[in-house]
């Protein structure tokens, strides 16, 4: 499910696999422009997590709301933190 590059980036950027799982389950999608998809927490994704998992999980995710995951060919390719808006064309 994870490429070697994704595992390294998760470790370097302190993104736990539980956050990646939540991103894939509740995150919003956008094309990345290279054939993959970006999963990120937008307003709707945050609300879904809050409604489904509760306030305690929401508080634990406080430092991870800007995280994103890139998926291509059914594998997590990379992940990181957003510093700019994701364009949804």
Whether the Cβ atoms of residue 71 and residue 77 lie closer than 8 Å to each other:
yes
pLDDT in tens, 32-81: 889 999 999 999 999 999 999 888 888 888 899 999 999 999 999 999 99
Q: Is the dihedral of CA 11, 72, 53, 59 positive or negative?
A: positive
Q: How confident is the model at residue 19 (pLDDT cuts 50, 70, 90)?
A: very high
For the entire predicted model, the pTM comes to 0.90
Cα–Cα distance measured from residue 66 to residue 83, given in angstroms and rounded to the nearest whole number: 8
70: β partners: 38, 78
The pLDDT assigned to 56 comes to 87
> What pLDDT is recorded for position 31?
93
């Amino acid at each position: 499910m994870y490429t070697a590059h994704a595992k390294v980036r998760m470790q370097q950027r302190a993104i736990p696999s539980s956050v990646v799982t939540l991103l894939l389950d509740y995150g919003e999608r956008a094309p990345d422009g290279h054939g993959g998809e970006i999963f990120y927490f937008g307003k709707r994704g945050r609300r879904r997590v809050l409604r489904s998992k509760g306030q305690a999980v929401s508080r634990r995710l406080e430092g991870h709301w800007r995280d994103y995951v890139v998926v291509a060919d059914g594998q997590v390719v990379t992940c990181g933190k957003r510093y700019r808006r994701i364009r949804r064309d």
